[in-house]
A and B are shown apart, each in its own frame.
Chain A
Amino acid sequence: MQYGVVLFHTTSAVMKAEKLLLKKGVSIKLIPVPREFSSDCGLSLRFDWDRRDSVASELNAAGVEMMGIHQMSLK
């Protein structure tokens, strides 16, 4: 199963993104940052990879600064 994670510089940005995407009806979950990434703000935002485009465009439109969006597989 494929999912995506969005990484942010700050927890405040994670919170901003979470609130925004939930309002837009995008199903998401806050998860600890996957081990392979160096970001340490603790939290990242997990979403269904099929929604990649809408996640990216919603966050960009709202000016939420992202460190990156990565595709992940469960292991």
Chain B
Amino acid sequence: MIYLDNAATSWPKPPVVLKAMADAMEQAGGNPGRSGHRLSIAAARIMFDTRDELAGFFGIHDPLRVIFTANATYALNLALNGLLKPGDKVVTTSIDHNAVRRPLRHLEKHGIHLDIVSCAADGSLDVSAMTRHIDAATRLVIITHASNVVGTILPVSAVAEIAHHAGALLLVDAAQTAGVLPINMTEMGIDLLAFTGHKELLGPPGIGGLVMADTFEVSRLETMVRGGTGSLSELEEQPDDLPDKFESGTANLVGIAGLGAGLRYVKERNLEQIGEYFKKITRILIQDLSVIPEIRLYGTLDAEQAVSVVSFTAAGRRVSEIGMRLDDEFGILSRVGLHCAPAAHRTIGSFPEGTVRLSPGSFTTIDDIKKAVQAISEVVKT
């Protein structure tokens, strides 16, 4: 089997991740922040250590500004619902994911003004177009760090500069890039970062987070959920302390333990080397696919400008048929369709049919890529 669906979720996970999750259940099974006994303390240490490592990894100082959520979607919803008020203008791009677009369409009904900047057909964003859309009325700018459909990387730092110049905040969706590209929120000017643990941070599903820059004014962000925090129980009002303001209810300790182990694995393997490896296998994948005449590739076709996500269609072929045959006949796992990003597919010209998406991961070998391309070639010709 060759797994090329890492943009949906990475697989397999490093053994250290599975071990950390089992260890957390066996050796730290208390409820963090709820009690004073050893199992509760052990659980709280796992949570804090993971928070601390994430803060360092994303370039902020205060670990309490890392808010754990179930996934990037929840983090994006927290940021959007917590920040935006009726009358606010929001600027986003035409390749965002439904995790951004759907909450925005909902908020639009409640009085926010949505301004969508078109990306080019290869997914790239013209920074000068962004300048024309962001004005003094803009409260928030949202961009995805890299497209989940074609992998194209967007110019985060340049957009941050424009947003800040206009007095707006920048929210970045890093679902496809955390663990692949370096992200230093302080240097890049990111105010809010939504990430997920189960993609290239190599953790389990069900854990992600929202990270707030050290300079972000926390009082601007309302919480979405209120409840027990283990702190200030005498109060019937939600506390303002971080991270408790945003983290009510018992945490996903096992997920956090797995995420922590995944992150340490990524750091040991070295982010720069991981990035180079991804470029190398993506370059080979694009090159080898591009010589098959039946195939149309989407995106920049440049591994320097994209993460390892490659989309294609084949003339006269149903994408679902291609995906099924790759799985059934060759054991090659891809994802076909719209990838929860109809706007992105409209942008690249593949709506409503969608594409076949191939997303190699950290454990994909060059041999896997060669075999996959051979199989695709047979499927589109027969």
User: Which chain B positions have C-beta within 8 A of A42?
Assistant: 33-36, 40, 230
Task: Among B45, B62, B233, point to the contact of A15 (Cβ < 8 A).
Answer: B45
Decide yes or no whether A52 CB sits under 8 A from chain B.
no
Per-position 1/0 for A1-35, Cβ under 8 A of B: 00000000111111110110000000000111100
User: Which chain B positions have C-beta within 8 A of A15?
Assistant: 44-45, 47-48
Interface size of A by CB at 8 A reads: 22
Interface residues of A in 14-67 (CB under 8 A from B): 14-16, 18-19, 30-33, 38-43, 63, 65
Q: Knowing A10-B244, A43-B36 touch, does A38 contact B47 (C-beta < 8 A)? A: no
The A contact surface, by secondary structure, is mixed
Asked if B242 and A32 sit within 8 Å, CB to CB, the answer is no
Task: Among A19, A43, A65, point to the contact of B52 (Cβ < 8 A).
Answer: A19
The residue on B at minimum CB distance from A9 is B241
Decide yes or no whether B32 CB sits under 8 A from chain A.
yes
Asked if A12 and B243 sit within 8 Å, CB to CB, the answer is yes
Decide yes or no whether B232 CB sits under 8 A from chain A.
yes
Bound complex: CA of A43 vs CA of B41, how far in Å?
8
Asked if B48 and A41 sit within 8 Å, CB to CB, the answer is no
Bound complex: CA of A52 vs CA of B126, how far in Å?
56
Decide yes or no whether B270 CB sits under 8 A from chain A.
no
Asked if B242 and A12 sit within 8 Å, CB to CB, the answer is yes
Decide yes or no whether B206 CB sits under 8 A from chain A.
no
Shortest beta-carbon contacts, A-B, top 8? A15-B48, A32-B36, A11-B33, A42-B36, A9-B241, A41-B231, A40-B233, A10-B231
